[in-house]
């Protein structure tokens, strides 16, 4: 299976970059190296050398946002999860997308699990809320039903999300799958009415069929009011 890059997003004012790691493993007091996989950093767009960590703590030689795991675990409702999507959003919110979750890495289900938490950045630093809200918690079967009869129906998981800062009335998301028979994915729109993030709807072709990628979408970006960039990573 492909190794996935850490998702990132610009703050809505364009001044900062926010990123997040996968949060799928945690170190121990004796071996802290994998604590680094639990990190929420941010930095000014022109100064990556000035990166800082949200909810920073250090164990051994490793600094991370390990304390964020408690908030994530409460929202996800499972001890194991894999984060693969991140976006800033209006109302000083941060959207975090979970691709799969479950009891362990070997007993986890794919998902379209979208979480939201208050988040803001200023010159004084970043402020994070004290709890995540579940925005959407959809199963692969529910996604497949929405896609329609033409869609391939392997287990889909959320692999990217981005608020459309140009139109400001939607977010775009991508889901992907990896099977022994191949890879692929889909592009989705989540309507936004200024307060509520609507249910994901697949982008369709003129013939009414869902747009289907034959490569593996890993990220999405709204370039302007009429163009969307989808980034694929097949390996």
Question: What percent of the residues of the chain are helix, what percent strand, and what percent coil, each to the nearest 5?
Answer: 10, 50, 40
Q: What's the pLDDT at 1?
A: 42
So where are the chain's domains? 8-232
Q: Which pLDDT band holds residue 149 (cuts at 50, 70, 90)?
A: low
Tokens 């896609």, located at residue: 147
Q: Report strand pairing: 212-213 vs 182-191.
A: antiparallel
Q: What is d(CA 231, CA 183) in angstroms, rounded to the nearest whole number?
A: 14
Q: What's the pLDDT at 2?
A: 44
Q: What's the pLDDT at 27?
A: 94
Helix and strand element counts for the chain (H, E): 2, 18
Q: What is d(CA 219, CA 227) in angstroms, rounded to the nearest whole number?
A: 14
Q: What percent of the chain lies above the pLDDT cut of 90?
A: 89
Model pTM score = 0.94
Average pLDDT over residues 90-108: 97
Per-residue DSSP letters for 189-216? EEEB-SS-BPPPEE-B-TTSPBPEESS-
């Amino acid at each position: 299976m492909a190794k996935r890059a850490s998702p990132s997003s610009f703050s809505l004012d364009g001044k900062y970059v926010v990123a997040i790691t996968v949060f799928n493993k945690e170190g121990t007091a004796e071996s802290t190296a994998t604590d680094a996989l639990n990190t929420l950093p941010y930095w000014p767009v022109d100064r990556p050398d000035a990166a800082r960590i949200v909810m920073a703590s250090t164990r051994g030689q490793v600094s991370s946002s390990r304390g964020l795991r408690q908030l994530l675990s409460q929202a996800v409702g499972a001890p194991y999860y894999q984060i693969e999507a991140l976006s800033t959003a209006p109302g000083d919110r941060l959207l975090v997308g979970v691709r799969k979750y479950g009891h362990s890495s070997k007993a986890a289900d794919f998902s379209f699990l979208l979480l939201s938490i208050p988040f803001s950045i200023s010159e004084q630093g970043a402020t994070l809320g004290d709890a995540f809200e579940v925005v959407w918690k959809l199963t692969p079967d529910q996604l497949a039903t929405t896609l329609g009869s033409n869609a391939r129906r392997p287990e889909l998981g959320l692999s990217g999300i981005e608020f459309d800062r140009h139109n400001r009335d939607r977010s775009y998301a991508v889901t992907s799958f990896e099977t022994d028979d191949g890879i692929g994915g889909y592009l989705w729109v989540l309507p936004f009415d200024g307060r509520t993030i609507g249910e994901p709807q697949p982008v369709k072709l003129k013939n009414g069929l869902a747009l289907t990628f034959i490569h593996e979408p890993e990220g999405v970006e709204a370039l302007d009011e009429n163009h969307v960039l989808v980034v694929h990573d097949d390996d």
